[in-house]
Every structure is written in structure tokens, then in C-alpha cells.
Chain A
Amino acid sequence: MNMAGRDLAAAAADLPMALRRERTHITVRGLNKAFKGQPLYRDFDLDLPEGRIVSIFGPNGCGKSTLMNMIAGLIPVDSGSILFDGKSLKQTVIGYVFQQYREALFPWLKSIDNIAYPLRRAGMPEPAVKARVEELIASFEIQFDLNRYPYELSGGQQQTVCIMRALAPRPEVLFLDEPFSALDYEMTLFIREKLQEIYLKSGVTMVIVSHDLEDAVYLADKVLLLTRRPTRIAEYMTFDMPRPRTPDSMSDPRFVAAKAHALDVFRREVKG
């Protein structure tokens, strides 16, 4: 009974997206992953749409980050295929933003050289590196001094540097692992706005893991709600509230309804 209701709701919610001729960007098929003999994912399938923001949300220990990290190639899969527009990960440029920005940046490099690192790494000539970094600085409207070392910057500034570094090589997909959870609320709002701006300008596909439902819904075109382990998709919820969304959007009835619905699904899954 639950299943039928969920399918119906999902189908109805998917309608506007379908009209927008959604293309699949990342295809996950037959994914298997076990930890110490305990299956986490068993024959798991997932499609991530191109040029959309998908948030992954679910109960503690369900493997939200593990799922994203397997797609981003940071954790090996036991079996299964993950393709980006039919290409393998090796043939795809991705960006990744870590929760622990302090531990993800290279403190021996100035902030600006952190941003340039993936470009130099890829052998880009120095004038092109300079131009690309300038472009990022302009598009992020950076007000602080990037010639400082990361540890001299505030948490929000460091996370901004992380996002710029991830975006520098023009990735096809930007992965963000709990990008807000080490930030205070003010910085969370700021980084959320920045991400939305970047998204509206570049249309890059984004995957965000979040443990905060508000963050998960706010930026998302789709919210992937996961069950407890062994993990399945509880619901692949569409949230097509128009952009740009602003802090006022959080009191919009559509936002409130979407968040309440996601919370219902979450509660049901936690209760098992």
C-alpha cells in the first residue's frame, strides 16, 4: 500500500521535470557494496539528471556519503557500473568539495595556488591558469585576499576557496559532501547563495550530501531519500520551485510542503 502511494506521488511530482526533457548524466547500475560482510548497497540503480542539483538525504549510517564517494571514485565499489554520459570516471572531469575544508586545502600553498592546483596539475599553461583564476575571482565576487594562506581565512572563506578549486577545471559534475556542516548559519546562507549563483550561471550537475533537511531541499531539483541499510531508494522526490530561491523561499508553502513530505518519508524509514 505504501509502495503504490509512493510511486503515484513520485510519478505526479516527476511530471514537470519530464516536460523539461531531462537527460540522464550519471547512470548507476547493479551497484553492490558491503562493509565487513554487511551489505550496504545491493543491486542498486540510480539515474542522476544532467544540469540539475540532486541532494542525498537519509538516516544515519545509510551510506549517503558512501554512495556519493563511490560515484566520485573515492571509495571502490564491490561490483556494478557507474557511467557519466556513457564515459568512465577517468574520462570525466569532476570537482569535489569536502566537509572538512581545513583538511582538504593544502596549507603550504597560498589560497590562490590552491585554486590553481588542479589546473597546473593538468598541465595548463601559466597564462591560462591566471586567466581562469581571475575569472573565478570575478564570478565569486571575492572580497578577501587570496594571497593569504588558507589557515589565515575564516571558515566560510576557506570553504569558498574549496569550491573555487573544485570548479577551476570546469568539472562536468560537482560533488559536495556536507559542505555546510562545519560552517555557522551565516556562512551556510552565504555559501548556499554562492552555489545557487554558480549553478544558475554554469548549469553544472551537482550532487550534495546533507544531513540537514533544510539544506537538502533548499538547493535541490531532486531529493534522493534513502532507507536504512541495506539501502534502497525510499523516494526520489522532485522539488521544482523556481530559482533563484532566496532565504524567503524557506517560508514559501511549496518549500514547507516539500520539506514536510521529505520529513514524513524520513520518519517512516527511521521507524522501519
Chain B
Amino acid sequence: METFDARRLLPIIGPILFFAVWYLAVAYGLVNKVLFPSPFETVAHLFTSFGKGGMQVDVASTFLRTGTAFVIAAAIGVPIGVALGASESAYRSVEFLIDFFRSTPSSALIPLFLLIFGITDANKIAIASFAAFLVILFNSAYGVMNARKTRILAARVMGSNSWQIFKDVLIWESLSQTFVGLRTGVSIALVIVIVAEMFIGSETGLGHRIIDAQQVLNVKDMYASILITGALGYLLNLAFLLLEKRFIHWSGK
């Protein structure tokens, strides 16, 4: 019983250590106090800023952009990925393109997207969508291609034709891998939205807030915004893990 309780506390050791090192470094003057406020001040600022309207608007607009970009990416990426995965020759013929753009940092394409969309919200959403789309497509395609051969044979020997095998087996088989893609996709979308908010003109958003705070050396607000951005990314990831556990109940079994 005692060991059980102790084990449950293990995950909070890391954060406590992190804040302890931060606190001690500030307290003993190992870092510049102007650049590093103490963790207590930062967290206190985080909560007061959250009480004010500005932070809520920034969190909401970043979340909304990320969500929109992700939904568009998933709505296009999953069907195309599954279709490409079902025909290995089709996938092979576009594999290089996918791998090339997957390896290209999407932030490198921001100027290109600026030319097309201008300094708009659509621009930020489009580029985040594009980045998430590739990773979602790639994972869905591989989910289908790596379907268990035995299961496909089992369906075929029971008289299923290609279309039935596709909808009764391949789609289901691909779901675990598709969820990996969705989870990675939403993280990438958030990264790109934050970058876009920093460097493409923006009135709202956490990226905008972080760079604004940095420009006026409002370091407390900068750290608070960074922590909130991290929490947003973490919660999005966690939400997808829980969704996966709930709906892809057979995953890993």
C-alpha cells in the first residue's frame, strides 16, 4: 500500500525539481533577475493575467486557429491517406513528394503562404493545416499499408471482396496509426500557429503575446505565456490520448 502511494507521486518529482532549480537559481543570483523572475512571481502573474480579458482572448484565438487548421488537415488528410495506403503503387508514386515536404520545415514556407494569402488569419490556418496534413496523411497511409496480413486473408477467405476488405478491415486497422498522426498533427499545428502569430502580423494569439512581451521586456508575462502555451499543447496531446483509449480500445492489445 505504501509503495503504491509513493509510486503515484513519482510524476510530480520532475516539475518540483524544475521549479526548485529555477527558484534557487534566482534566489542565489545565478541568473539575471531582470531576465528571470522567480517562479512564484511568474505563476502568480499567470493567474492574475488569466483573470484579465487579454490572456483569455489570446488563448482562445490560438486554440481556435489550431483547431481549425487541425480539422481541415484531418478532414483532407485521413481520407487521402487511407486511399493512398490501400493502393501501394499510388502511395509509392507520391511518396517522395510527401517525404520531401514532410522534411521541409513548414515555417520555411511562411513567406510563400504570405504571397498567396496575405497577412490574414487564413494564412496562419493554411500553413498550420498544410504541416499537419502531411503528417496525418503519412500516418493514415502507413496504418493501412501495415494492416495485419492475416486479418486481410481472414476477410478474403470469408468471401469479402476488395471494397469490403477496405471498409471492414483496412480502415479499422489503420485507426491506431491514424490517431498517432492526429496527435502529432495537432502538436505541429500548434507549433506553426504560434510561429505564424509571432512573425505574420497578428492582433491576438499566444505567439503574438510572447513576442510582444519580449519586445517590451515584460518577462513575467513572457514566461507566463510560454507556460500557458505549453499547457495548451500538453492538454491537446492528452485529449487525443484519452480519445484514442476510449475509441480505439483494441490498440496495443
**A108 & B154 in contact (Cβ 8 Å cutoff):** no
**B249 & A117 in contact (Cβ 8 Å cutoff):** no
Interface set, chain B 161-181, CB cutoff 8 A to A? 164, 168-169, 172, 175
On chain B, the number of residues with a Cβ less than 8 Å from chain A's Cβ atoms is 18
Interface set, chain B 129-170, CB cutoff 8 A to A? 148, 150-151, 153-154, 156-160, 164, 168-169
Given contacts A100-B150, A104-B154, A121-B164, contact A151 B159 (CB under 8 A): no
**B250 & A149 in contact (Cβ 8 Å cutoff):** yes
A175 to chain B: closest CB distance in Å? 8
**A98 & B154 in contact (Cβ 8 Å cutoff):** yes
Q: Is B253 an interface residue (CB 8 A)?
A: yes
Given contacts A74-B153, A104-B150, A104-B151, contact A118 B250 (CB under 8 A): no
A-contact bits for B30-73, CB 8 A (1 contact / 0 none): 00000000000000000000000000000000000000000000
The residues of A that contact B159 with a CB separation of less than 8 Å are 93, 118, 121-122
Docked complex Cα distance between A164 and B253 (Å)? 22
Q: What bracket does the count of chain A residues touching chain B fall in?
A: 20 to 34
Docked complex Cα distance between A96 and B159 (Å)? 11
**A103 & B253 in contact (Cβ 8 Å cutoff):** no
B-contact bits for A81-100, CB 8 A (1 contact / 0 none): 00000000000011010101
Given contacts A106-B169, A108-B250, contact A94 B164 (CB under 8 A): no
The residues of B that contact A169 with a CB separation of less than 8 Å are 158
The residues of A that contact B164 with a CB separation of less than 8 Å are 121
Q: Is A107 an interface residue (CB 8 A)?
A: yes
Given contacts A100-B150, A121-B164, contact A107 B250 (CB under 8 A): yes
Q: Is A80 an interface residue (CB 8 A)?
A: no
Docked complex Cα distance between A96 and B172 (Å)? 21
Q: Is A73 an interface residue (CB 8 A)?
A: yes
Most buried by A among B150, B151, B158, B175: B158
Docked complex Cα distance between A94 and B249 (Å)? 31
A142 to chain B: closest CB distance in Å? 20
Binding site for B on A (CB under 8 A): 72-74, 93-94, 96, 98, 100, 103-108, 117-118, 121-122, 149, 151, 165, 169
5 closest Cβ pairs, A-B complex: A107-B250, A151-B253, A103-B150, A118-B158, A96-B157
Selected A-B contacts with CB under 8 Å, 19 pairs:
A93-B159, A94-B157, A100-B150, A103-B151, A104-B150, A104-B151, A104-B153, A104-B154, A106-B154, A106-B168, A107-B253, A108-B250, A117-B158, A118-B159, A121-B158, A121-B168, A149-B249, A149-B250, A151-B250
Given contact pairs A96-B153, A104-B150, A149-B250, a sample of 11 additional A-B residue pairs in the complex whose CB atoms are under 8 Å apart: A74-B156, A94-B157, A98-B150, A98-B154, A103-B151, A104-B151, A106-B169, A107-B253, A118-B159, A121-B159, A121-B164
